[in-house]
Amino acid sequence: MKRIALISSDSALRRTVALALECAGAEITTDTRMEELRTCDIVVVIGAAAFASGRLSVESLRRCGEHRPEIFVISWQHTEQTVLSMLECGVDQYMTFPVCLGRLRIKAADK
Amino acid sequence: MSQIADILLLVLLSAASMLLCHRAVRVVRAVNKRKLLAESFRSTVDAADGPGISILCGRVDRRRLENLLGTEYPRCEVVVTMDANYDHTAFRAIVERFRMARVTRSLSHEIPSVGIRALYRSQDRRFRRLILIDKLSTTESDDRNAAACYASFDHLLPLPDGCMILDDAVERLVVAVCEYEADDVALIRTDVGPATALYRREEVVAAGGFGSAALGRVPRRRIRTLHEPLVWCPVRSASLLAGGLGLSPDAGPYDSLSSRRAVAWGIRATVAAATLAVLVFAAWRGWWALMAALFTVLLAWSVACYVALVAGGAPRQLRLEEEEPGVTD
Amino acid sequence: MTEIYTIYSAAAAMVMILLWGDLLRRRTAEYVDRRHAAPLRDRCLRMIVQSDGSADGALPPIRRRSERMRLAEVLAELAATTDVAARSRTDSIVAAYGLDRLVLRRIRLASGYRRALWLLRLARLNPRPETAQAVRRYSSSRNRNVRFCTLLCAIAAEPLRSLHTVACWGDTLSRFETAQIVTLIFRGRMPVACTPLLTSPHDNLRMLGLGVVRRIGADETFPILLNIASSDPDRRIAREAMYTLCALHLPLDCRDVVRAMAMMPAAERKSLYRFMAFEGYSVRALSELFREQERQYFESLVESYKCRIPCPR
């Protein structure tokens, strides 16, 4: 069973995405301790601000030499600069709101 | 004669009470508006044609900078002015963490400012909204003028020292700018929480910079007031007292430490008890004018507490605990 | 005078009781929300998000009005953030629980910004034309947000007439309002074509057209944008057209742009230069536009984006 961590300061959105991913048979955790995040298969971050502010970085989430966990970002921002900056800093999937929950489930199941 | 004095006193007290009630009503309306905007601006945060806001601040630490850069609104930047010689450690920490590189700097004569040594921008695209200015530390106004020189956007938000920005403050300011665009508004300020104002850049330039007397003489018809807090200061001992007295939204319901909340409520209860005791004494002695005045004081204090507790708030922090000892959220 | 003082004191005391009572009510509501509304919200979310997507999926009974109101809130929120509220499913949930009638009642009882909030939520619940008709009377409200949310309801109820509705709206759309309607367009709620919007005689539709062009990067509208920038009677729209040209990184060294910029006040020109520098235009690309001092200003802006690379020894 996949282990997916959700990071968001918005509890309502976090709960919505968590319920959608539970349908895909994933185990959802909202524990944001770094050692817990590194043990997950996928980390879903809601909002680009966590990366854009330097609060979070791909290097801090992954151990040296590993490509786990996969990092998904779901954000409201559609601008090219934001998307490119997220992909450049190592995010694996960038999705925008309004998010297609079915597509999110499929992407999470595929990884 | 004493009757005229009584009537005058009653008129004054009534006017004061009505103003206080009007303030409470305005704050409640602002809270309701904030809820409405919270549901609508998330979907429009990406508007490419939205007004841009430059946040100007002085010395920052890591936590504060992450808070300032943590807004989702794309047309917002943070301009930090620091003295690299004086704050060497903090300056180098920012340069390294955000991959800042020194860029070419031409002297801008728009707003007079002295002591600018260097300008830094980030080489990392995700930190493109951060601008760092190395400047000899002089006065706060001069530091803000330096920041304004290199700000990219048309609206400037100088932050009080040590303050953090609330989650949706930038978006609320954007909506306010859009609302008042047709009215030739020079500045938008708030009367709840730490004093903050959003200035139109051309007003600052025309006045000769921050700290100039002309900027303090903007006509009232060109000022708009938001009755909601935009920034939040971490609780300090002095502001704890202010929070207890209801003069500040600090130590409000969102304060993370229950001990601080308890202290603030204790101060509130003490103030109320003391005033009530004097009031009862005045009523017992038949000092009706004093009783009415004390009721007005109590009403003012109640409105201040109401405003602080209803409108106040703290930024929602993304809680991420790191492994390094002593570095916690 | 004693009686007057006593009456005044009693009135002040009553106001204080009202204030503290309202504070207590808010705290209680927050407590109830944390304890009881969160599980209810979860239940509503599960019902919508984890359903099989079929419009005929069985819906559990919800009798209490407060629970149905919570369901309406959750559904409106999901409509804004996800695609889960596909039309047929939303319609079936709204019809099954009578959410539209419930929300209409709440709109009637509310006032000011709370009424606007419920109108916004109604607009997200795919209202029927009759429902939008029922709220049409709020289009003359004193509160601008109420008027605008009524417009959103009308657009949501009758998408095919939406452009006509926007054109007939009595106020001038602000940039934020334009962005909200553009968002509706890109969620497929409104049919749109750029050119008819840009050439429309209505100011609101031209603003909307500019927002759409910016969003999709429609370079082919370049001639129309030039025309608007240089000769639109509304200066605000002309200015927005200039910014749209810059946002699309279109060539600006032409007579129309020079003419448009000559009509701008100095402060607006400087603001535009900052935007151009931000968007990455070079000095040479805009050489036709500048007056002498402005060239130096623009050069200083462009230079400030360049890294200083020291010469290797």
A46 CB neighbours in chain B (<8 A) are none
**pLDDT on residue C40:** 77
For residue A33, the distance in angstroms to the closest alpha carbon of chain B comes to 5
Q: How many domains does chain A have?
A: 1
C81 CB neighbours in chain B (<8 A) are 42
Going from the C-alpha of C216 to that of each of B2, B51, B73, B104, the distances in angstroms are 74, 19, 19, 34
**pLDDT on residue C57:** 55
Q: For chain C, say whether B108 makes contact (Cβ under 8 Å).
A: yes
For residue B246, the distance in angstroms to the closest alpha carbon of chain C comes to 13
DSSP collapsed to 3 states, chain B: CHHHHHHHHHHHHHHHHHHHHHHHHHHHHHHHHHHHHHHHHHHHCCCCCCCCEEEEECCCCHHHHHHHHCCCCCCEEEEEEECCCCCHHHHHHHHHHCCEEEECCCCCCCCCCCCEEEEEEECCHHHCCEEEEEECCCCHHHHHHHHHHHCCCCEEEECCCCCEECCCHHHHHHHHHHHCHHHCCCEEEECCCCCEEEEEHHHHHHHCCCCCHHHHHCCHHHEEEECCCCEECCCCHHHHHHHHCCCCCCCCCCCCCHHHHHHHHHHHHHHHHHHHHHHHHHHHHCCHHHHHHHHHHHHHHHHHHHHHHHHCCCCCCCCCECCCCCCCC
- Per residue in C124-157, pLDDT (tens digit) is 998 999 999 999 999 999 999 999 999 999 999 9
The pLDDT mean for chain C works out to 85
Q: Which of C34, C54, C84 to mutate to test the interface with A (most CBs of A within 10 A)?
A: C84
B299 CB neighbours in chain C (<8 A) are 12, 15-16
Mean pLDDT of C239-266: 87
Does A94 have pLDDT greater than 90? yes
For residue A59, the distance in angstroms to the closest alpha carbon of chain B comes to 12
Q: How far apart are CA B172 and CA B156, in angstroms?
A: 14
Tell me the CB-side half-sphere exposure of residue C150, using CA atoms within 13 A: 24
A16 CB neighbours in chain C (<8 A) are 45, 49, 77-78, 81-82
Which of C22, C120, C304 faces B104 most closely, judged by CB atoms?
C304
**Among B228, B156, B142, CA closest to B192:** B228
Going from the C-alpha of C153 to that of each of A97, C123, C137, C160, the distances in angstroms are 21, 4, 12, 13
Q: How many CB atoms lie within 10 A of CB B265?
A: 14
Contact by Cβ (8 Å): B128, B200: no
- Per residue in B193-221, pLDDT (tens digit) is 888 999 999 899 989 889 888 888 888 88
**pLDDT on residue B327:** 32
In the structure, what pLDDT confidence band is assigned to residue B159 with cuts at 50, 70 and 90?
Answer: very high
Q: How far apart are CA B60 and CA B83, in angstroms?
A: 11
**pLDDT on residue B238:** 47
B71 CB neighbours in chain A (<8 A) are 49
Q: Which of A17, A19, A103 to mutate to test the interface with C (most CBs of C within 10 A)?
A: A19
C41 CB neighbours in chain A (<8 A) are 12, 15
In the structure, what pLDDT confidence band is assigned to residue C123 with cuts at 50, 70 and 90?
Answer: very high
User: Do the chains contact at B318 and A55, CB–CB below 8 Å?
Assistant: yes
Which are the contacts of B230, defined by CB distance < 8 A and separation ≥ 6?
Answer: B165, B166, B169, B172, B173, B190, B193, B196
- For CA atoms C281, C287, C291, C293, the dihedral sign is positive
In chain B, which residue's Cα lies nearest the Cα of C26?
B310
Q: For chain B, say whether C16 makes contact (Cβ under 8 Å).
A: yes
Q: Which of residues 269-328 of B touch C (CB under 8 A)?
A: 288-289, 291-292, 295-296, 298-299, 302-303, 305-306, 309-310
**pLDDT on residue B235:** 56
Q: Which long-range contacts (CB under 8 A, 24 or more apart) does B32-37 make?
A: B32/C112, B32/C113, B32/C114, B32/C117, B33/B228, B33/C113, B33/C145, B34/B168, B34/B172, B34/B228, B35/C113, B35/C114, B35/C117, B36/C113, B36/C114, B36/C116, B36/C117, B36/C120, B36/C145, B37/B168, B37/B171, B37/B172, B37/B175
DSSP collapsed to 3 states, chain A: CCEEEEECCCHHHHHHHHHHHHCCCCEEECCCEHHHHHCCCEEEEECCHHHHCCCCCHHHHCCCCCCCCEEEEEECCCCHHHHHHHHHCCCCEEEECCECHHHHHHHHHHC
Which are the contacts of C237, defined by CB distance < 8 A and separation ≥ 6?
Answer: C203, C206, C207, C210, C228
**Among B218, A2, B282, B315, CA closest to C9:** B282
Q: How many residues does chain B have?
A: 329
Structure tokens at C77: 């929120």
Contact by Cβ (8 Å): B68, B165: yes
- For CA atoms A78, A79, A82, A84, the dihedral sign is positive
Q: Which of C2, C4, C9 to mutate to test the interface with B (most CBs of B within 10 A)?
A: C9
Using a CB–CB cut-off of 8 Å, the residues of B that contact A are 42-43, 45-46, 48, 65-72, 74, 97-98, 124-129, 167, 316-323
Mean pLDDT of C43-64: 67
C46 CB neighbours in chain A (<8 A) are 19
Mean pLDDT of B110-138: 90
* Host domain of residue A105: 3-110
Q: Which of B133, B295, B301, B303 to mutate to test the interface with C (most CBs of C within 10 A)?
A: B295
User: Do the chains contact at B295 and C13, CB–CB below 8 Å?
Assistant: yes
User: Do the chains contact at B288 and C240, CB–CB below 8 Å?
Assistant: no
Structure tokens at B223: 């000022």
Q: How far apart are CA A29 and CA C67, in angstroms?
A: 27
Structure tokens at B40: 């609508």
In chain C, which residue's Cα lies nearest the Cα of A11?
C38
Q: How far apart are CA C200 and CA B78, in angstroms?
A: 39
User: Do the chains contact at A54 and B319, CB–CB below 8 Å?
Assistant: no
Which are the contacts of B261, defined by CB distance < 8 A and separation ≥ 6?
Answer: B251, B253, B255
User: Do the chains contact at B36 and C12, CB–CB below 8 Å?
Assistant: no
**Among A35, A26, A18, CA closest to A74:** A18
**pLDDT on residue C312:** 47
- Per residue in B273-317, pLDDT (tens digit) is 888 888 888 888 888 888 888 899 889 988 988 888 888 765 655
CA angle B93, B98, B102 (to 5 degrees): 90
Q: Which of A10, A15, A28, A100 to mutate to test the interface with C (most CBs of C within 10 A)?
A: A15
Phi first, then psi: give them for residue B226, nearest 5 degrees.
-95, 135
Which are the contacts of A6, defined by CB distance < 8 A and separation ≥ 6?
Answer: A14, A17, A18, A21, A28, A29, A30, A44, A46
Does B321 have pLDDT greater than 90? no
- Per residue in B240-275, pLDDT (tens digit) is 555 555 555 444 444 445 666 677 778 878 888 888
CA angle B280, B285, B287 (to 5 degrees): 85
For residue C271, the distance in angstroms to the closest alpha carbon of chain B comes to 7
Q: Which of residues 12-71 of B touch C (CB under 8 A)?
A: 13-14, 17, 21, 24, 29, 32-33, 35-36, 39-44, 47-51
Which are the contacts of C35, defined by CB distance < 8 A and separation ≥ 6?
Answer: none
In chain C, which residue's Cα lies nearest the Cα of B283?
C6
Does C63 have pLDDT greater than 90? no
In the structure, what pLDDT confidence band is assigned to residue B145 with cuts at 50, 70 and 90?
Answer: very high
Q: How far apart are CA C16 and CA C33, in angstroms?
A: 25
Rg (CA), chain C: 26
Contact by Cβ (8 Å): C136, C150: yes
Phi first, then psi: give them for residue B81, nearest 5 degrees.
-115, 120
User: Do the chains contact at C8 and B295, CB–CB below 8 Å?
Assistant: yes
Mean pLDDT of C161-189: 86
**pLDDT on residue B324:** 39
Q: For chain B, say whether A103 makes contact (Cβ under 8 Å).
A: no
**pLDDT on residue B39:** 85
CA angle C56, C49, A16 (to 5 degrees): 165
Write the DSSP assignment of C3-47 as a string of letters. HHHHHHHHHHHHHHHHHHHHHHHHHHHHHHIIIIIHHHHHHHHHH
B24 CB neighbours in chain C (<8 A) are 19
Q: For chain B, say whether C307 makes contact (Cβ under 8 Å).
A: yes
B164 torsion bin: left (phi>0), alpha (psi -120 to 50), beta (else): beta
**pLDDT on residue B200:** 92
Q: How far apart are CA B202 and CA B128, in angstroms?
A: 24
Q: Count Cβ atoms within 10 A of the Cβ of residue C130 and give its class: 0-12 exposed, 13-18 middle, 19 or more buried.
A: exposed
Q: Which of C44, C46, C81, C216 to mutate to test the interface with A (most CBs of A within 10 A)?
A: C81
Mean pLDDT of B140-156: 92
Q: Which of residues 18-57 of A touch B (CB under 8 A)?
A: 32-35, 47-56
Contact by Cβ (8 Å): B321, A32: yes
Tokens 């289009």 found at = C139
**pLDDT on residue C136:** 93
CATH code of residue A19:
3.40.50.2300
**pLDDT on residue B5:** 85
In chain C, which residue's Cα lies nearest the Cα of B5?
C1
